[in-house]
Chain A
Amino acid sequence: MSDKPLLRIINLKKRFGDKVVLDGISFDLNKGETKVIIGPSGTGKSTLLKSINRLVVPDEGEIWLGDTEIVRCKNINAIRQQIGYVFQDFGLFNHLTALENVMIGLTKVKKIPKKEALERARYELNRVGLSGIEDLYPAQLSGGQKQRVAIARALAMDPKLMLFDEPTSALDPELIGEVLAVMQELAESNMTMLVVSHEMGFARSVSDEIIFIEDGKIVEQAPPEKMFKDPENPRTREFLFKLSELYGEG
């Protein structure tokens, strides 16, 4: 168990109609690692993430979470409980308060007693720096607060793995920092994380590896130092240059 990766993706393929979105993706993610996936839009990054908790069903390939294969497993709901998913557009339940949003997975999915769930939810909201907004509804929160509630909701489920699908790209620039800070703290506390993001500052300081995907294939994967200083593929170089132009040094 110890030397086995937490997440292993083997030759993942997916097409939508004529368009090949994932074209043989394989990589490992060890326990406690954070990997950041970058790449042009429409190249399958989101589809890859969605495949991991089977919100999208791949055509071919295998996804192993520890000893369980996800693509063909019977009880997907049990798997999804172990994978925290943070969406670009938050996905908070509009009719529930921040606290209730964090609690609902605990009480209705994990069947934890309400009192215990309440304590846990308060703890998680506090952990993402949101004490005091427990009783506000999503529509009353800023984008940054919403995303932090979403992270707290995922964390409350005690996930083995956290997936972040462009968690800051729907946020105003001044709100990005607060979300990245929470993610950085998580990574430092040895949460296993797979992050689709173009926040290069975050990728550089937090990730163990950056994976560059284009046209459904991994073009290059390397630790951030290598990726930024000395990328092997000219296409990687070009893309990183464009990113740095867009987002500044990061």
Chain B
Amino acid sequence: MLDFFELVQKSLPTLLEGTFVTIKLTILILALGLVLGLIIAFFQTYGNKPVRLLAGIYDRIFRSVPELVLLLLVFYGLPNIGFRLSPFYAAVLALGLRSAAYMAQIFRGSFMSVGSDQLTAAYSLGMGEYKAFIYVIFPQAIRAFIPPFANEYAIILKDTSLAYAIGVVELLRHGQYIIAVEYKPLPIFLVIAAIYFVLTFGVARLLKMLENKLKIPGIGV
């Protein structure tokens, strides 16, 4: 038992270094997913036919190909056409492109959850499209956005461990390095699992609190 704590204490700084990389990966993937997802959602909702079709094809492809295949494709495949990325940015790109397809669906769903009567009422007060979106649509859509977003966040965080496969030195790989030296897989993997758990569960709790705070009285009680 003492061994266990000693080992954890000794390896924690290295693991936290890896955790930092994992968090950085997660944030960048989230950012890419959010921005690109919003653009795709916009195209799918308001675009003309060819644009909608393109957005639809994007959506289908990135929701149908496994993350690991995407990672390998971007990191090992793209250099063949002269597009070479570091493992870290290859992971951001591959996982971010995948996430964008899901985020687009989340955006679409949350905007569509706001009834068209809300928009009509906003127009009737003399609001233009921009004001109607900022003051009426967005504040209601964000409430529908949070729960599926929390879900997507958890998926992204956990999927960053796949970046291990293309050599990104994140949490899991830092752990592997320690195991390679210490020959003690169980405690190290347990600590790694615990760190993933805290990151996933902690942020999920925060988002849940935000969701409750934003709950509209009288609805969904």
**Do A and B assemble together?**
yes
Interface of B toward A, CB cutoff 8 Å: 117-118, 120-128, 131, 135-136, 139-140, 143, 216-219
- The 14 sampled A-B contact pairs (Cβ below 8 Å) are A53-B124, A55-B123, A78-B126, A80-B125, A85-B124, A91-B124, A93-B118, A93-B140, A95-B139, A104-B135, A108-B135, A137-B218, A139-B219, A140-B217
Whether B126 contacts A77 by the Cβ 8 Å rule is yes
Could you tell me if A91 and B218 are in contact, using CB atoms closer than 8 angstroms? no
Set of chain B residues within 8 Å of A157, measured between Cβ atoms? 125-126
B117, chain A: closest CB distance, angstroms:
5
Minimum CB–CB distance from A151 to chain B (whole Å) comes to 13
Residue numbers in B under 8 Å from A24 (CB-CB) = none
Asked whether any CB of chain B lies closer than 8 Å to the CB of A160, the reply is no
A81 touches B126 (CB 8 A): yes
**Whole-angstrom distance between the alpha carbons of A108 and B135 in the complex?**
8
Taking CB atoms, residues of chain A closer than 8 Å to B125 are: 80-81, 104-105, 109, 153, 157
> How close is A30's CB to chain B, nearest CB, in angstroms?
23
How many residues of A sit at the interface, in one of the four size bands? 20 to 34
User: Given the complex of chains A and B, what is the CA–CA distance between A79 and B140 in angstroms?
Assistant: 26
A233 at the interface (CB under 8 A from B): no
Contact of A87 among B117, B136, B139, B216 (CB under 8 A): B117
The minimal Cβ–Cβ distance linking B124 to chain A, given in whole angstroms, is: 4
Closest residue to A81 on the B side, CB-wise? Answer: B126
Beta-carbon contact of A95 and B117 below 8 Å: no
Q: Chain A 80-96 against B: per-residue CB contact (8 Å), 1 yes, 0 no? A: 11010101010111110
The residues of A that contact B219 with a CB separation of less than 8 Å are 94, 137, 139
- Give the CA-CA distance A138 to B136 in the complex, in Å: 14
CB-CB nearest in chain A for B218: A139
Q: Closest residue to B131 on the A side, CB-wise? A: A108
A94 touches B120 (CB 8 A): no
Point out which of A77, A81, A157 has the most chain B C-beta atoms below 10 A from its C-beta.
Answer: A77
Chain A residues 82 to 132 lying within 8 A of chain B, measured CB to CB, are 83, 85, 87, 89, 91-95, 104-105, 108-109
Residues of A within 8 A of B218 (CB): 136-140
The closest CB in chain B to the CB of A79 belongs to B126
Contact at B126–A80, with CB atoms within 8 Å?
Answer: yes
Query: CA A114 – CA B120 in complex, angstroms?
Result: 24
Q: How far is the CB of A143 from chain B (nearest CB, A)?
A: 13
1/0 per residue, CB under 8 A from B, across A130-157: the answer is: 0000001111100000000000010001
In contact, A80 and B123 (Cβ under 8 angstroms)? yes
Interface centre among B126, B127, B135, B143 (most CB of A within 10 A): B126
Complex: A86 Cα to B117 Cα, angstroms: 12
Instruction: Considering the complex, give the chain B residue whose CB is closest to the CB of A109.
Output: B126
Say how far A125's CB is from chain B's closest CB, in angstroms: 16
